[in-house]
Amino acid sequence: MTGIQLYNTLARAKQAFEPQDPKNVRMYVCGPTVYDYAHIGNARPVIVFDTLFRLLRHVYGEAHVTYARNITDIDDKIMKRAADEGVSIKTISERYARVYNEDMGTLGALQPTIQPKATEHLSEMIRMMQTLIAKGHAYEAEGHVLFNVPSMENYGRLSGHSRDELIAGARVDVAPFKKDPADFVLWKPSTDEQPGWNSPWGRGRPGWHLECSCMIEKHLGETIDIHGGGQDLIFPHHENEIAQSECTHGAQFVRYWMHNGYLTVDGEKMSKSLGNFHTVHDLIADHPGEALRLSLLTAHYRQPIDFSLANVSEQKRRLDRWYRLTESVASATEVPASVIEALADDLNTPRAIAALDALATKETAADLKAGAQFMGFLTMAADKWFQGDAADGDDAAEIEAMIAARKAARANKDFAESDRIRDALLAKGIVLEDSAGGTTWRRAD
């Protein structure tokens, strides 16, 4: 069995991965807050941990790995969007959750084993808060329930921040009803106009941190193997998840914490004001999902990555080369050891991509295909890849009709008409390739 090494944020070191139970490997990754289209930065953790999910299934067996990625479907941003459109929060959250799953699927991400929704876990949240209050780790104040940070001796060990840094970084209001400035909200009251649920502390809604703790508890248990997410979630979100879960259960919450680095666009922080804000939904309209996926894996997951459309085009050309080399390979199942070894070394995707490039020869095309497909590439027939969006629908029918007309012109020795049709197709960005087996077509590079 291949040994996996993972960098554990909590230990601040790369460690051998040893699951609690090799027959029940459990991973949780923070999912989207569904009020709008996901941007390309949101896609990075999806692709990173999808790659880890594939590796874990390869090593431990598909039936022995459970991957949960949640949907946050109650949040102030969702509430604002719903109010602006005059619809329910469920309408907004279901709309964008559906698009999110479709868009991430286009990037080659497998569906997680479980996709829990926050609003389906209110009873678990109330029960956890009651336990925390009973143990002296939480308290009620003016319709709020707050976690009592000083009650946890080792609070802050994930981020390594000092107490002053924790208070400053928490970005929470120092409300008069708080016992300590660092205390954070588990439950907050809702007005009559706001969505809310009944609780022992009045009608209200949960805090974001509480949701993940309760979804993990219900679906994966008190202690899980891997918890992943973006670097921006280390504090306060993941720090607070640890506090809630460990103070509730008195057991270690997560054995390996993993965090991917930040994403910039063309060397700058992504923002709408700079005009460099890319949603996945918009990008996949103009670029193949596999090229976007490959672009996101060209940097090691723990390092920052600078996303650019130029790099996406470069990865498209790399994939073109791989598709051409493997188009005659019928099937390939044995994943090359060089690819597995690279990924087992703390998910070293740049090294895995280099291993695939090393296999990009006629002699090793089957290995290339097996390794690439394992990582979510070369998933379609080569002709469909090169035809792109035109492979389906009216465009394809029109192209095939023109090819048939050209064939008829050539049969009649009307080469001027044959050349005219070829040139007309080329003007549309369609390249014809004649062979003994007939004429095929592809999109121009």
- Residue 300's CB is within 10 A of a number of other CB atoms, namely 18
The pLDDT of residue 408 is 85
Check pLDDT > 60 for residue 393. Answer: no
Specify the residue for token string 């099937």.
331
pLDDT digits (tens, 9 = 90+) for 217-257: 999 999 999 999 999 999 999 999 999 999 999 999 999 99
Task: Provide the residue ranges of all domains of the chain, joining segments of one domain with +.
Answer: 20-260, 264-380, 385-443
The set of residues, in sequence order, having a beta carbon less than 8 Å from that of 63 and lying 6+ positions away, is none
Asked if residues 30 and 70 have their Cβ atoms less than 8 Å apart, the reply is: yes
Contact (CB, 8 A) for 78 and 18: no
Average pLDDT over the chain, rounded to whole? Answer: 93
Residue 187 and residue 199 in contact, taking contact as beta carbons nearer than 8 Å: yes
At 129 the pLDDT is: 98
C-alpha of 157 from chain center: 26
CATH class of 20-260: alpha beta
pLDDT digit string, tens, across residues 88-108: 999 999 999 999 999 999 999
Decide: 31 and 268 in contact? Cβ < 8 Å: no
Task: Please give the average per-residue pLDDT across 302-327, as a whole number.
Answer: 97
The pLDDT tens digits of the residues spanning 277-295 come to 999 999 999 999 999 999 9
Residue 163: pLDDT band by 50, 70, 90 thresholds? confident
How far apart, in whole angstroms, are the C-alpha atoms of residue 115 and residue 135? 30
Question: For residue 171, is pLDDT > 60?
Answer: no
Which of 108, 107, 113 lies closest to 62, judged by CA?
113
Residue 445 — very low, low, confident or very high, per pLDDT cuts 50/70/90?
A: low
Buried b (16+ CB within 10 A) or exposed e, 391-429: beeeeeeebeebbeebeebbeeeeeeebeebbeebeeee
Burial 192-214 (b: 16+ CB within 10 A, else e): eeebbbebebeebbbbbbbbbbb
Average pLDDT over residues 182-194: 95
